Structure 1
C-alpha cells in the first residue's frame, strides 16, 4: 500500500505537472500517438470492412488476416522496423505508428464487416426493391444500422492502442510509457506504477466516452423496438420457438 500512496503523492505533486516530462506533456504525446494510429487504421480497415460486409467477398481472407495480425509480437515488430528503417530518433515515430496501426486494424475490420453483415437481409432487400443503388443501400441503410458495432470496433482498437502505445518509449519517443521505461533501469518502482496508473485511467476515461457514444448511435427505430412493451414482454422461449419454426 505504501507504493500506491507514493505513486498518488507523485501524481498530485505540482512539480510533476509542468515541463517537458510533466504529466500534461506526456499525456498529450500519448493521445497524439493514439489519435494518429486510430485515424489511419480506421481509414484502411473500415473501408475494407464495409466492402466485405456489403458484398460478402473475402470474408475468409479477412478472418485469417485479423487472426494473423493479432498474433504478431508488438515489441518485436517495433524493434525490427526501427532497425530496418534506421532513420534515427527523429524518425522513430514512423515504425511506432506502423506497429500500432497493425495492432488496431483487426478489431476495426472485424467490427466493420460483422456490423454490416448483421443488418437484416429483409431490410436490404426492401431498400433494393425501392430502387436504391448499392451505394445508397450501404450508406443510407447498412452503415447507420451497423454503426454501433463499427464504433465498438473503434472502442476496442482505441483501448488496445492506448495500452500498447507505451512501447513508443522503448525507441526514445514520449508518451506515458516514458515513465515506465525510464524508471525500470533505476528500479524506481513508484514511477513505474505512476505510468501504469495513468495509462489505466486514460483507457478507462476513453472507454467510458466511447460507451456513451456507442449507446447514443443506436438508431431511434432500433431503440424503439428494444424498448417496446411487446419486445420486453416476449419471453426468450417464444423467440426460440419462432426461430426454430
Structure 2
C-alpha cells in the first residue's frame, strides 16, 4: 500500500519539508504519484529512506549518502553490516563516556579529587600530550604550532572528547570509502579530506591545502602515525595520504 508524504514523515519522524528536499536533490524520489500529483512512497522507497537515516545518524553528509546509494555496486546487506559495526563502536564509546561522567559526578559529590589517569582513561590510547616535546622541538617556532598550543591549552576534557569523536567520524568515513574500493580522486572521497582539513582548522590551526598535504605525508613517513592509523584498517594511512593529496591538487586547479 502506497503512503503519502505526510504519512511517511510521521512514520520516520522527519518533516515533510525534509522529504521534499530529499526529492529535490535526487536522494529519495518517491516511486509513484497520485492522480492529483501528490508523492506516493512504496516499500522500496521506505527501505531507501531507512538507509538515508542510518547514514545521516552516522555523520555522513547528504551528498556522500546520495553517491553511496546511487553506486551501481551498492549492496544493502553490506551497508547494514557496516552500519551495525559503526553503531556498535559508537555505543561502546558512549557507554564508556557515560561511565566517565558518572565517575566525575561521584567524585564531585564526595568532594574527592580524580587522578589524571582517572580523568583521561576514557580516551584509551589517545593522549593529547603525546609527542608534545618532539613537536615543540620540530615545529615550536612555526605559527601553526604556536596557534595550536594557544588553543589546546584552554581545552577541557569535554573538548578533547569532542575532538576525538569528530576525528573518529571522519576516519570511519574514509574507511567506508576504502572498503568500497573508491579511488582517492573521487569527489565524494575528497570531500571527506576537506572535512578533515576543516576539522584541523577548527580545533588546532589554520590548515591550508599545502599543510594538509604535508600532514598526509607524515601519516606514511612516520611509522608511529602509520601504525596508529592502520589499526582501523590496513592500508588506511596510505589511502588517507592519497586522498589528502588528491584534494590539494583539486584545490590548486580551481
Q: Which structure has the highest helix share of the two?
A: 1
User: TM-score if structure 1 supplies the norm length?
Assistant: 0.30
Greater RCO, 1 or 2 (C-alpha within 8 Å, sep 6+): 1
